Structure 1
Amino acid sequence: MKRTELIGRRQILATSVLVAASLALSACGAGTSTPSSGSTVPADTGAPATITFMEAMSSGAQKTALAKMTKDFMDKNPNIKVELQDQPDYGTLQTKINAQTAAGTPPTIAQVYGNWADEFAASQVIVPLDGYVAQSDQYKTFFEGIKKDMKLTDGKTWMWPFNKSVVVQYFNPTMVPAAPKAWDEFAATAKKASTGGAVALSMDPGSSSGPAGGTALFEILAESMGDSVFAADGTPQFTKDGVIKAMDYLVQMKKDGSLVLGTNYPGQVALGGGTGAFDLSSVASYPFNLKAVGDKFKLGVAALPSGPKGTANQLAGTNIALFAKSTDAEKAAAWKYMQFLTSPEQMAFWSSNTGYLPVSKAAMDQPVFKDYAAKAPFVTEAANQLDSATPLPPKAWISKASGSLAQAIQAAVNGTATSKDALATAQDSAMKAMKGSQ
Structure 2
Amino acid sequence: MTRALLGSAALSLAALSPAFAQTEITFFYPVQVGGPLTEVVDGYVAEFEAQNPDISVEAIYSGSYTDTTTRALTAARSGTPPTVAVMLATDIFTLIDAEVIAPLDEQIATPEDQAWLDGFMPAYLASARLDGHVWGAPFQRSTAVMYYNKEAYAAAGLDPETPPVTWEEMVEHGKALTIRDDAGNVTQWGLGIPGSSNAAHWLFGALVAQNGGQLSSEDGLHTFFDSPEVIGALEYWVSLGAEHAIHPPGVLEWGTTPSDFMEGRLAMAWTTTGNLTNIRDNAPFDFGVAAYPGNPDPASVLGGGNMYIFADASDEEKAAAFQFIKFMTSDELLADWGIQTGYVAPRDGSWDTQALQDYVTEVPQADVARRQIAVSVPEISTYEGQRVNEVLNAALQAALTGQQTPEAALTAAQAEAERILSVYRD
Same fold, TM-score > 0.5, yes or no: yes
> Which 10-residue stretch deviates more, 212-221 or 162-171?
212-221
2:244 paired residue number: 256
Q: Deviations over 1:310-367 (max 9, x none)?
A: 2222111111111122222222111111111111111111111111111101111222
CA apart distance, 1:436: 5.9
CA apart distance, 1:279: 0.7
Unaligned runs of 5+ in 2: 1-15, 154-159, 181-185
Unaligned runs of 5+ in 1: 1-41
User: Cα distance 1:155–1:273, how it changes in 2: closer, same or farther (>3 A)?
Assistant: same
User: Cα distance 1:410–1:324, how it changes in 2: closer, same or farther (>3 A)?
Assistant: closer
Q: Deviations over 1:92-131 (max 9, x none)?
A: 3223212221121212111222454323323333211233
From 26, 29, 48, the equivalent of 1:55 is 29
From 192, 213, 216, the equivalent of 2:176 is 192
CA distance in 2, matches of 1:114, 1:320: 9
From 118, 126, 129, the equivalent of 2:93 is 118
From 191, 196, 215, the equivalent of 1:201 is 191
CA distance in 1, matches of 2:226, 2:67: 33
2:142 paired residue number: 165
CA distance in 1, matches of 2:216, 2:206: 11
From 98, 103, 116, the equivalent of 1:138 is 116
Q: TM-score, normalised by structure 2?
A: 0.84
CA distance in 2, matches of 1:168, 1:43: 38
Are the counterparts in 2 of residues 165 and 356 from structure 1 also a CA contact under 8 Å? yes
Would you say how many aligned residue pairs link Structure 1 and Structure 2?
389
1:39 paired residue number: none
Are the counterparts in 2 of residues 114 and 393 from structure 1 also a CA contact under 8 Å? no
Are the counterparts in 2 of residues 143 and 386 from structure 1 also a CA contact under 8 Å? no
CA apart distance, 1:432: 2.5
From 394, 397, 411, the equivalent of 1:407 is 394
**2:133 pairs with 1:156:** yes
CA distance in 2, matches of 1:311, 1:155: 32
2:333 paired residue number: 346
1:29 paired residue number: none
CA apart distance, 1:384: 3.9
CA distance in 2, matches of 1:232, 1:414: 31
Q: Deviations over 1:108-156 (max 9, x none)?
A: 111222454323323333211233357421222211111101123x342
Amino acid at match of 2:150: P
Are the counterparts in 2 of residues 44 and 329 from structure 1 also a CA contact under 8 Å? no
User: Cα distance 1:347–1:83, how it changes in 2: closer, same or farther (>3 A)?
Assistant: same
Q: CA RMSD in A?
A: 2.4
Are the counterparts in 1 of residues 84 and 309 from structure 2 also a CA contact under 8 Å? yes
Are the counterparts in 1 of residues 35 and 277 from structure 2 also a CA contact under 8 Å? no
From 199, 214, 218, the equivalent of 1:213 is 199
Q: Secondary structure at the match of 2:102?
A: coil
Amino acid at match of 1:164: R
Amino acid at match of 1:137: A
1:9-408 to 2 correspondences below 5 Å: 44-57=18-31, 60-133=35-108, 135-152=113-130, 154-176=131-153, 177=160, 178-196=162-180, 197=186, 198-206=188-196, 211-234=197-220, 235-254=222-241, 255-260=243-248, 261-291=251-281, 293=283, 295=284, 297-308=285-296, 310-386=297-373, 389-408=376-395
Are the counterparts in 1 of residues 93 and 385 from structure 2 also a CA contact under 8 Å? no
User: Cα distance 1:124–1:265, how it changes in 2: closer, same or farther (>3 A)?
Assistant: closer
User: Cα distance 1:405–1:304, how it changes in 2: closer, same or farther (>3 A)?
Assistant: same
Are the counterparts in 2 of residues 203 and 265 from structure 1 also a CA contact under 8 Å? no
CA distance in 2, matches of 1:132, 1:364: 26
Identity percentage of aligned residues: 26
User: Cα distance 1:412–1:89, how it changes in 2: closer, same or farther (>3 A)?
Assistant: closer
Amino acid at match of 2:262: G
User: Cα distance 1:318–1:427, how it changes in 2: closer, same or farther (>3 A)?
Assistant: same
Are the counterparts in 2 of residues 126 and 323 from structure 1 also a CA contact under 8 Å? yes
CA distance in 2, matches of 1:341, 1:423: 40
User: Cα distance 1:60–1:168, how it changes in 2: closer, same or farther (>3 A)?
Assistant: closer
4+ runs deviating over 3 angstroms: 45-48, 57-60, 114-117, 131-135, 264-267, 384-388, 413-416, 435-438
Amino acid at match of 1:409: L
CA distance in 2, matches of 1:240, 1:160: 33
CA distance in 2, matches of 1:400, 1:123: 14
